[in-house]
A = this chain, B = another copy of it.
Amino acid sequence: MNTPPTPLRQLAELIGGRVVGDPSLMITGIAPIREAGDGQITFLSNPRYVDELSATRASAVILAPRHEGAPAPAGLARVIMDDPYYGMCRVIRHFHDRPFQPTGVSPLASIGQSVTMGRDVSIHPFVVIGDRAVIGDRVTLQAGCFIGEEAVIGDESWLHPNVTVRERVRLGRRVIIHSGTVVGSDGFGYAFHGGEHQKIPQVGTVVIEDDVELGSNVSVDRATLGQTVIGRGTKVDNLVQIAHNVTIGERSIIVAQAGISGSTTLGKGVVLAGQVGVVGHVTIGDGVRVGAQSGVARNVPPGQDLSGSPAIAHRQWLAVQATLPQLPDIRRRLHRIEEELHALQQQINRPSRAAKPAGRRRTAPRRSKRA
């Protein structure tokens, strides 16, 4: 929070942007378009907010070339760049990153036997580390974290307060886990035998690769045998369920409250939107994107966009959703057509004595109509 005011020119260089306005303007911080004030820089990324630019009280804005001419207060400096969202990201880091300062091992932590402790760690009060666990360099374990026996926490990983990492789980480097999250709870496996659900011991583990981030109150179950895997650079939002023996590829995005059932495999770059469910034992290809609240119940080839429950092609789902509210009207129209068609049949065949067979009745009006 102590980064000094910075000339606009320096921020523009940092993010690879072009200044339109006074490059010597001193910027004190970054804020959203509605909240930014004098001396602050803001950003315009989502076109939804372009109309708000004219009312901003910021001194500068980061925006894309296509928005360069958007109406704005006189004197608002601009930094033009292709990806203002990333520009915003870099400027936040500039103003908010603080140097890492390890605090050492708290005397209020409980450290097991034969723990391998890296250099420059921060082990906070009421942390428990089980026997033979391995803690990497510059790892931070905040208050109330539990690290099970023989678990491995990679270098520079950061566990927020009250995270549980069970025995033998392995985290890569720079893994971030938010509070309340549990990695390595038992998979949900029972064999129904003798009239009871017999617990299948869940003796596998979980592997979280480098640069993964898990939100708060996430559950990642350990494998029955083998391992549950979350691939490098994948980001998982809050309250997500990842069942036993699931494999998620690299750089995937799993949004809040989604759930992935046991033994399912997701490819690289998969996106599951919020509250999506995926059944067990299926394979979702690279780059598949699934819309919010959808349910995936089958294998999905790479690159598809799906929505709905059960999920179908996203475009097809859009057409279905647009039609669905008309369904009661469709039923009424169908009924009227049946009546009119039957009347027409009667009219044409009036001289005829050919009676409809009983099986045809269903589509005809209940009461025969007099012509």
Chain A residues in contact with chain B, CB under 8 A?
A: 30-32, 35, 46, 48, 83, 85-86, 88-89, 92-93, 95-97, 106, 108, 110, 124-126, 128, 142-144, 146, 148, 160-162, 164, 166, 176, 178-182, 185-186, 188, 190-191, 193, 195-201, 203, 211, 213, 215-219, 221, 224-226, 233, 235, 237-239, 241, 243, 245, 251, 253, 255-257, 259, 261, 274-275, 277, 279, 281, 292-293, 295, 297, 308-310, 312, 316, 319-328, 330-331, 333-334, 336-338, 340-341, 343-345, 347-348, 362-366, 368-369, 371
Known: A144-B144, A328-B323, A368-B343. A182 touches B186 (CB 8 A): no
Bound-state Cα–Cα, A225 to B321, Å: 35
* Extra 15 A-B pairs, beta carbons < 8 Å, given A180-B182, A188-B235, A327-B327: A31-B225, A83-B191, A92-B203, A95-B203, A128-B144, A146-B161, A217-B219, A219-B238, A261-B274, A293-B293, A310-B321, A316-B325, A323-B330, A330-B331, A340-B364
Known: A86-B198, A185-B216, A319-B328. A162 touches B178 (CB 8 A): no
Across the interface, do B225 and A92 meet the contact criterion of CB distance under 8 Å?
yes
- Which residue of chain B lies nearest to A143 when distances are taken between CB atoms in the complex? B128
- Which residue of chain B lies nearest to A310 when distances are taken between CB atoms in the complex? B321
Across the interface, do B277 and A277 meet the contact criterion of CB distance under 8 Å?
no
Bound-state Cα–Cα, A124 to B128, Å: 9
Across the interface, do A201 and B162 meet the contact criterion of CB distance under 8 Å?
no
Residues of B contacting A319 in the complex (Cβ-Cβ under 8 angstroms): 327-328
In the complex, the count of this chain's copies comes to: 3
Bound-state Cα–Cα, A256 to B328, Å: 31
Across the interface, do B96 and A201 meet the contact criterion of CB distance under 8 Å?
yes
- Which residue of chain B lies nearest to A203 when distances are taken between CB atoms in the complex? B96
Residues of B contacting A218 in the complex (Cβ-Cβ under 8 angstroms): 217
* From B213, B215, B277, contact of A275 by CB (8 A): B277
A247 CB to closest chain B CB, in angstroms?
11
Residues of B contacting A257 in the complex (Cβ-Cβ under 8 angstroms): 241, 257, 259, 277
Across the interface, do B162 and A166 meet the contact criterion of CB distance under 8 Å?
no
Residues of B contacting A322 in the complex (Cβ-Cβ under 8 angstroms): 328
* From B191, B201, B216, B309, contact of A182 by CB (8 A): B216
Bound-state Cα–Cα, A108 to B221, Å: 28
Known: A110-B126, A203-B92, A225-B31. A363 touches B336 (CB 8 A): yes
